[in-house]
Amino acid sequence: MKNSKRIMVILALMLPAAAPGESPPEPHESLLHAPSLHRAHADAFPVGTAVPRDYLSDPAYAPRLEVIRRHFDHVVAENEMKWERLQPEEGVFTFEEADRLVEWAAANGLRVWGHTLLWHNQVPDWVFEDADGGEVSPELLLTRLRTHIETVMAHFRGRVYGWDALNEVLTSDPDNPFRDSRWLRILGEEYMAETLRIARAADPEALLAVNDYGMSDPGKVASALHLLERLAEADAMPDIFGMQSHMSVYWPPVEMIENSLRALAATGVRVAVSEFDMSVYDWTDTADRYGGTLPEPLALFQADRIARVLKLYRAHAAAIERVTHWGPFDDRNWKNNFPVKGRRDNAGLIDWRGRPKPAFLAFQSPEVFLAAFGPVPEWRPEGTETAPEVSVRADRSAYLRLNRLAVPPNTLVDRGRLRVSVELALAEDALEVGLDVTDSRWSGRAPDETVLRVYLAGEWHAFSAAAHEWAMSGDGERLRARVALPPGVIEAGESVFDLEWRAPAADPRGTYRLRWADTAYAAEVPEQPGVLRLD
Ligand code: G3I
């Protein structure tokens, strides 16, 4: 790491925070001179941001509008174009707040993306109720949907260039791919094509998107592919699929994002990165660890993750319609209230004092950041480090000690319906590896495919179904294998180590790997390996 850059970063992190209750911190003036984020990516894709209501209504936030004007080329109302804001009561349309943003954007040369026409959240109850408070009939609900979309799109025609028409309608279970919502229950699956048709007719110039979260999950992608197929058959294809991209520094691996991006783009839609941010907490970690000041290695690790993801987006620029950040100012990012209310998450690019973070540089110039600082080792709060260790005790049984937060100790991944766990045991001259995968969404792999690789003593050892004890069941697969320990490994007491599970090539959602320690997947030889320790 270059010393001068390191010093800059440390200085930025040590400046005092504004006391609670004070007016919002002014953005540091360097933000008005720093090279523009959107211009930095002008060769690849537009770069925008969500804007909360009071940036337009409260003069204390006026300096932030200057920052937004410089660094972003489009804006999205964080809440003001949702149904509850635009039509809180039947027939009462309230456009003032949204108009304020649209007018500001027009006056300053920024485009506006509309969010959102249909969602199961932030939609008033009256929409689903009849005059007596009972459940609305499908006919009346469809009429209300049509009135809402037509009125809203007519109001913003020519000023809002596209809309999230369907927001969060999918599940991550392709056997049951559509979210159980009041829309689905009352209107049936047809409501999705119908929404797109109504919106298309209401403003044929506007781009239309299906937008969802958790899109790195192969199950969610399978549901999306299923929906897109259905929409194509119904002649109601959207133009864009929005991957919301609310991420954590610990999940998902860049490779999974790439697989999803490729799979979605292959259907012919363009992909939008529609709600990008990067939480510094593992999803299962509910502790409040940092307040508004990140430890330097974590700030750098967050930046490193952002740089790798932005680099991936740039490599797929032809498929990407835009990249929209969902809250670059840390003090106003929604993650401060989710999943832990009131916890400062630091998920943005500009810190609680209004200063650009390492994340800002990484977002702006991923290659420069990686050349100067990368690869940054994964950083975990004390007591939660995940570097795998195998402790071999006196009875010569072994176990993996992985202090992943709230994850069983020998688990490689535990997300929804995919669980991969590994057990290691040490025999006289061999490491015995047991692998259990539960993933009922795929049906098998070719017997000679590589299932697992273990990195030990400087090389990868591959385990295949054909060469090792291997069993498939409806729930997944199970493998038992031995890798001979090269001479010297036991004597050394400690060895560089990693584990990699590979999804089957036949999996319709695409192949991907899960690595234990080197979650950056930067190289074939792990750059951030774990340690095999023989006590
Ligand atoms: O405006 C009121 C304020 O008057 C009141 O005092 C305060 C008390 O809690 O609430 C304020 O409203 C909050 C609103 O954000 C504005 O800050 C709501 O409680 C809060 O629920 C709402 O959260 C929004 C969330 O959607 C609601 O589901 C977030 O700002 C917004 O970032 C978030 O955005 C969603 C996308 O629309 C869809 N994708 C996921 C994304 C994150 O959840």
244 in contact with ligand 1, CB cutoff 6 A = yes
36 in contact with ligand 1, CB cutoff 6 A = no
β-strand pairing of 270-279 with 240-243: parallel
Which ligand 1 atom sits nearest the alpha carbon of residue 334? 32
pLDDT at 535: 52
Using alpha carbons, select from 284, 278, 299, 282 the residue that is nearest to residue 369. Answer: 299
Q: What is the DSSP letter of 294?
A: -
Where in 78-176 does DSSP place strands (E)?
111-118, 162-167
pLDDT grade for 125, boundaries at 50, 70 and 90: very high
Give, using CA atoms, the residue closest to atom 22 of ligand 1: 79
Dist. CA 79 → ligand 1 center (Å): 7
pLDDT at 440: 60
Q: What is the DSSP letter of 137?
A: P
212 in contact with ligand 1, CB cutoff 6 A = no
Dist. CA 379 → ligand 1 center (Å): 30
Question: Is residue 522 classed exposed, middle or buried when 0-12, 13-18 and 19+ CB atoms within 10 A define those classes?
Answer: middle
Which of 53, 79, 101, 118 has most ligand 1 atoms within 8 Å of CB, for mutation? 79
pLDDT at 415: 61
Q: Where is pLDDT greater, at 464 or 122?
A: 122
Q: Is 527 a catalytic residue?
A: no
CA-based torsion, 50, 54, 56, 60: positive or negative: negative
pLDDT at 413: 67
pLDDT at 24: 93
Across the range 483-490, mean pLDDT stands at 67
- Residue 405 pLDDT greater than 60, yes or no: no
What is the tens place of the pLDDT at every residue in 146-158? 999 999 999 999 9
pLDDT grade for 444, boundaries at 50, 70 and 90: confident
Q: What is the mean pLDDT of the chain?
A: 86
In this predicted structure, which of 181-195, 308-322, 388-402 has the lowest mean pLDDT? 388-402
pLDDT at 57: 96
Distances 297 to 6, 69, 276 between C-alpha atoms, Å: 11, 31, 22
In degrees and rounded to multiples of 5, residue 420 shows phi and psi of: -125, 120
Residue type, 206: A
C-alpha to C-alpha distance for 250 and 252, rounded to whole angstroms:
7
Q: Is 500 a catalytic residue?
A: no
121 in contact with ligand 1, CB cutoff 6 A = yes
Q: What is the DSSP letter of 428?
A: S
> For residue 491, how many other CB atoms are within 10 A of its CB?
7
pLDDT at 9: 34
Q: Where is pLDDT greater, at 412 or 57?
A: 57
Dist. CA 334 → ligand 1 center (Å): 7
What is the tens place of the pLDDT at every residue in 202-243? 999 999 999 999 999 878 898 999 999 999 999 999 999 999
Dist. CA 337 → ligand 1 center (Å): 9
In this predicted structure, which of 55-64, 205-214, 372-381, 457-466 has the lowest mean pLDDT? 457-466
120 in contact with ligand 1, CB cutoff 6 A = no
pLDDT at 488: 66
- Residue 419 pLDDT greater than 50, yes or no: yes
C-alpha to C-alpha distance for 500 and 519, rounded to whole angstroms:
10
* pTM reported for the whole predicted model: 0.82
What is the tens place of the pLDDT at every residue in 236-263? 999 999 999 999 998 888 888 998 999 9
What is the tens place of the pLDDT at every residue in 313-341? 999 999 999 999 999 999 999 999 999 99
- Residue 348 pLDDT greater than 50, yes or no: yes
pLDDT at 397: 35
Q: Give yes or no for a contact between 286 and 246, defined as CB atoms under 8 angstroms apart.
A: no
Across the range 155-184, mean pLDDT stands at 95
Angle, vertex CA 40, rays to CA 39 and CA 41, nearest 5: 90
334 in contact with ligand 1, CB cutoff 6 A = yes
What is the tens place of the pLDDT at every residue in 382-395? 766 555 555 544 33
